[in-house]
Amino acid sequence: MALDLGGGRRLVLAVGEEGWFWLVAGAAAAGLLLALSRYERGLVPRSVGRVLLALRLAAAAALVVAMLEPVARRSWAEQVVGRVVVGVDLSGSMETVDDRRPGEEQERLRTAEGLAPEGDGHGGEPARRAGISARILRGPALAELAREHELEAIGFARAASSGSVSDLAGALDRGEAPGDGLATDWGPVLDRAIGSEGAAPVLGVVLLTDGRRNAPGGGEDSRAGELARRGVPVFPVLVGSTVPPRDAAVSAIRAPASAFAGDTAAVLVEVKADGYDPGAEIPVTLEVPGSDTLREVVRAGPDGVRAVAAFRVPMDRAGAVELVAGVEPPGGSDGRPENDRRSAIVRVGDEPARVLLVDGEARWEFRYLRNALERDRRVDLDAVLLAPPPPSEGSEPTYASTLPGDSGEGSRSDGPDPINAYDVIILGDVPPGLAPPDLWDRLDAFVSERGGTLVIAAGPRGWPGGWSGVESARAMLPVLDPRAVAVDRSAVDPSRAAIPPGVAVVPGDSAGESPGDWPMLQFAADPGRSRAAWEGLAPLGWALAGRAKPGASALVVVDEGSGEDGGASGVVVAAQPFGLGKVLWVGTDGTWRWRLRVGDAYHHRFWGQVVRWAAEGPTAGGNRLVRFGPDRPELPEGVPVSLRAEFSEEAPGVSPELIAAARIFEEGGDGTPDRDGREPVALVPLRASPDRPRTFEASAPHLPSGRYVAVLDVPELAGVLEEAGLSAPEASFEVSPEETDELVELAADRDALDRLASITGGRVVRDFEAGLLPALIAPRAVEETRTAEVPLWDTPAGLLAFFGLMAAEWIVRKRAGLP
């Protein structure tokens, strides 16, 4: 309810729909007071009766008015000065000196209007980008903007913080950044421009940055779209040169996340070498704990081209092994020495991978695969043949004929599924007629709930027709519509006439370049030699190829040079995550043919690395009674730490009710837990895993960046460990900010800034053009409606008036002799 009083003034009743109730109640009260007044006429003089009636009606009216909650509201128009949000990049890349900036740009920067003069002693040398930004902040262009607008300054890197323009200029001088400075995210600046309701209206956003936004997360287009809808343009100032400075760096180190003791890991070190003469030699080193430093030499290419140094690293000891790669810049000329080294941690376990090999019959693929894995000391193998050959008279069967946990009739006993004791299950050519009825349900639970790995080594009896109609089997398959690849039996390769025709396969383009992700594809340390080895393999006599599912990775495809479809529908080997585990599809029964003339060189390397990849995540720390550690030795901030303890059969008293906990300490400078008189940073209880026997798991809370040691505490086993001369199991891990290319990609990049300006209606200006900003953001007063409200119902004066009326009525009534 509102009553317009004119002149922008209104009387508003804030009570809402209940106002009618109080008006009716007031009318009823007035009627009762009139009736009371008629009753009292014979008791008091007429003048006294009128005074009493007036006082009572006034008090009732005051009460009704208070219940209606009246508010006096006044509105008026006011001219408001607009606001400009200035975002300043404080990240690590702003410390870069653009030593290869074209001379014309350097001269324009030295004499640019709108920037403060260069400091004394500069000597004409190229300046740090942070120094250029500080000149812009202290220059006449920003001073003019400050006179005509309200300025709000925000510094940003991985995080953001507000401050005055002078404060941010000082932070640039000192190289200070909010957070660690190893990422760039101007999103908070845009969010501030969008979300500052109630403040002066935003007329524009100025971003001083080199354009290298690399923080995780997105949403830039949605923010830009919202600014465009509000009519707020963004004016990025590109600070720095688009020509990269002279700099050598380790841009990436690609190593397997885990390995087994005694293995040799393929490690690729990617080297950036911008600004050097093509062909210049760049030494690359790899430091391995406990052994001599490995060295390779790569050659510089054109700007933007990355050279790769390949290393074969023996993993001789169990535990977390930190590999440190480094480069030695030619001639000692290096723009950012802090990017010359990079590390990776490989978790090395000494427990063998537990593998269950299941097949229908003893086909060639089964025999060669079983023999290869049986000889591998890092594999603990059990083999099952569902239709084994009959044993000779008086001899024992060579293979089990039922899955663990099955009786002889396809049924399974109650309790935990015994197949969950394995890390990897390799399912060979098993037709539906030989498989137990619950096979795929058990495999589904093994992968999705237990976190195991299923390798499907296909054969013609089970695929493509046998299992294609089973929904659970299709769901686990990483490929769609696998079909047999046609083989021209007359197409004999003249250069290898002794080799029967077949299907040639090679690694997919992206998979073959990622040894850390797909070690089974690496047949040599150098990617080129590995590719050549694949091209020299004997072709497959039978292969199934299909399309990789969304989310699956195509690892091996039909070689396009063979005349078959090697594109999207020619995927022979593929992998996909499935629940907590993963599934690998090997669409052939002929990998044994890769032994032709080379023996185990490639067949065993492929399958050995398949098993290691499938069983990765071994618990690296501990002793013979219990293995203990995190699922990853390195993890980014904000991710919980998953811990697992696996008790051996020798450990007594292990039951689901066992009390176990992990105490997490910060690591001391000598690599040991810093526990002297200090409480752990976290105490995490471990619970029995429902899917893994004798296994306890926990998820630790988010931890800040740093190195930590987790120590397993099991009170019931403390005495057993002491008697056996064993210390409490412990494992180290590191938490670090999510890695970016902040100190690797050093050329200023205007692509993202162009897009941001285009969407919002702004414009990108170069650092030497910062003097244009006042003209681009013209002063504009915005008319805003202001409103002031004064509540009338809960003021002290109203309360005093009500009680004054009631007191006056009481005095008059008593003097008249009324009760």
Q: Tell me, letter by letter, the H, E, C secondary structure of 628-651.
A: EEECCCEEECCCCEEEEEEECCCC
Q: Give the torsion sign (CA, 717, 719, 724, 729).
A: positive
User: What is the Cα–Cα distance from 551 to 576, expressed in whole angstroms?
Assistant: 7
User: What is the Cα–Cα distance from 734 to 729, expressed in whole angstroms?
Assistant: 17
CATH architecture entry for 637-736: Sandwich (2.60)
Name 76's bridge partners.
Answer: 786
Q: What pLDDT, on the 0 to 100 scale, is given for residue 781?
A: 65
Q: What pLDDT, on the 0 to 100 scale, is given for residue 514?
A: 66
User: What is the Cα–Cα distance from 453 to 577, expressed in whole angstroms?
Assistant: 9
Q: What separation in angstroms does the CA of 509 have from each of 45, 252, 521, 528?
A: 110, 18, 11, 12
User: What is the Cα–Cα distance from 673 to 732, expressed in whole angstroms?
Assistant: 9
User: What is the Cα–Cα distance from 693 to 417, expressed in whole angstroms?
Assistant: 9
Contact 808, 55 (CB under 8 A): yes
CA 562 from chain centre, in angstroms, equals 40
pLDDT at 620 over 60: no
Q: What pLDDT, on the 0 to 100 scale, is given for residue 660?
A: 92
Q: What pLDDT, on the 0 to 100 scale, is given for residue 563?
A: 46
Q: What pLDDT, on the 0 to 100 scale, is given for residue 673?
A: 53
Q: What pLDDT, on the 0 to 100 scale, is given for residue 565?
A: 46
Average model confidence (pLDDT) for the chain? 84
Q: What is the pLDDT of residues 720-737, one digit of tens each?
A: 888 888 888 888 888 888
User: What is the Cα–Cα distance from 323 to 340, expressed in whole angstroms?
Assistant: 14
Residue 567 binned pLDDT confidence (cut-offs 50, 70, 90)? low
Q: Report DSSP letters for 1-20, one per residue.
A: -EEEEETTEEEEETTGGGHH
User: What is the Cα–Cα distance from 753 to 769, expressed in whole angstroms?
Assistant: 15
Q: What is the pLDDT of residues 175-194, one digit of tens each?
A: 777 767 889 999 999 999 99
Contact 340, 327 (CB under 8 A): yes
Over range 639-651, report the average pLDDT. 84
Q: Which two tokens stand for residue 696?
A: 């306890």
Rg (CA), the chain: 39
pLDDT at 224 over 50: yes
CA 421 from chain centre, in angstroms, equals 31
Region(s) of the chain under CATH 2.60.40.10: 247-349
Contact 444, 470 (CB under 8 A): no
Q: Which two tokens stand for residue 300?
A: 């510089």
User: What is the Cα–Cα distance from 37 to 816, expressed in whole angstroms?
Assistant: 13
Coil, helix or strand at residue 332: helix
Over range 17-30, report the average pLDDT. 78
Q: Between these two residues, 545 and 493, which has the higher pLDDT value?
A: 545
Q: What pLDDT, on the 0 to 100 scale, is given for residue 8?
A: 65
Q: What pLDDT, on the 0 to 100 scale, is given for residue 412?
A: 54
Question: Which stretch of 271-280, 309-318, 385-394, 486-495 has the lowest confidence by average pLDDT?
Answer: 486-495
CA atoms within 13 A on the CB side of 184: 26
Phi-psi region of 663 (alpha: psi -120 to 50; beta: other; left: phi over 0): beta
Q: What pLDDT, on the 0 to 100 scale, is given for residue 217?
A: 72
**Cβ contacts of residue 592 below 8 Å, gap of 6+?**
364, 365, 367, 368, 369, 603
User: What is the Cα–Cα distance from 69 to 395, expressed in whole angstroms?
Assistant: 100
Question: Which stretch of 189-193, 382-386, 439-443, 495-499 has the lowest confidence by average pLDDT?
Answer: 495-499
Phi-psi region of 114 (alpha: psi -120 to 50; beta: other; left: phi over 0): left
Q: What is the pLDDT of residues 494-541, one digit of tens each?
A: 666 667 788 889 998 777 666 567 888 888 877 778 888 888 888 888
Q: Which fold has domain 83-238+746-779?
A: Rossmann fold (3.40.50)
Q: What pLDDT, on the 0 to 100 scale, is given for residue 237?
A: 96
Over range 609-618, report the average pLDDT. 78
User: What is the Cα–Cα distance from 143 to 774, expressed in whole angstroms?
Assistant: 9
Q: What is the pLDDT of residues 671-696, one digit of tens each?
A: 455 555 568 888 999 999 876 778 89
Question: Which stretch of 96-105, 682-691, 740-749 has the lowest confidence by average pLDDT?
Answer: 682-691
**Cβ contacts of residue 251 below 8 Å, gap of 6+?**
270, 271, 272, 306, 342, 741, 744
User: What is the Cα–Cα distance from 151 to 145, expressed in whole angstroms?
Assistant: 8
User: What is the Cα–Cα distance from 665 to 661, expressed in whole angstroms?
Assistant: 13
CA atoms within 13 A on the CB side of 242: 6
Q: What is the pTM of this model?
A: 0.69
Contact 259, 346 (CB under 8 A): yes
**Cβ contacts of residue 348 below 8 Å, gap of 6+?**
258, 259, 260, 261, 263, 315, 317, 318, 319, 320, 321, 620
User: What is the Cα–Cα distance from 613 to 433, expressed in whole angstroms?
Assistant: 31
Over range 430-435, report the average pLDDT. 88
Q: Report DSSP letters for 512-535, one per residue.
A: GG-TTT-GGG-SSSSHHHHHHHHH
Residue 226 binned pLDDT confidence (cut-offs 50, 70, 90)? very high
Give the class (CATH, top level) of 353-614.
alpha beta
Q: What pLDDT, on the 0 to 100 scale, is given for residue 676?
A: 56
Q: Between these two residues, 379 and 492, which has the higher pLDDT value?
A: 379
Single-letter amino acid code for the residue at 815:
R
Over range 243-259, report the average pLDDT. 89
Name 347's bridge partners.
Answer: 258, 320
Single-letter amino acid code for the residue at 110:
R
pLDDT at 332 over 80: no
Neighbours of 514 (CB within 10 A): 18
CATH 2.60.40.10 at 247-349, yes or no: yes
Q: What pLDDT, on the 0 to 100 scale, is given for residue 210?
A: 94
Q: Report DSSP letters for 240-266, one per residue.
A: S-SSPPSEEEEEEEE--SEEETT-EEE
Over range 578-601, report the average pLDDT. 87
Over range 581-594, report the average pLDDT. 91
pLDDT at 413 over 60: no
Name 426's bridge partners.
Answer: 357, 455
Q: What pLDDT, on the 0 to 100 scale, is given for residue 588?
A: 92
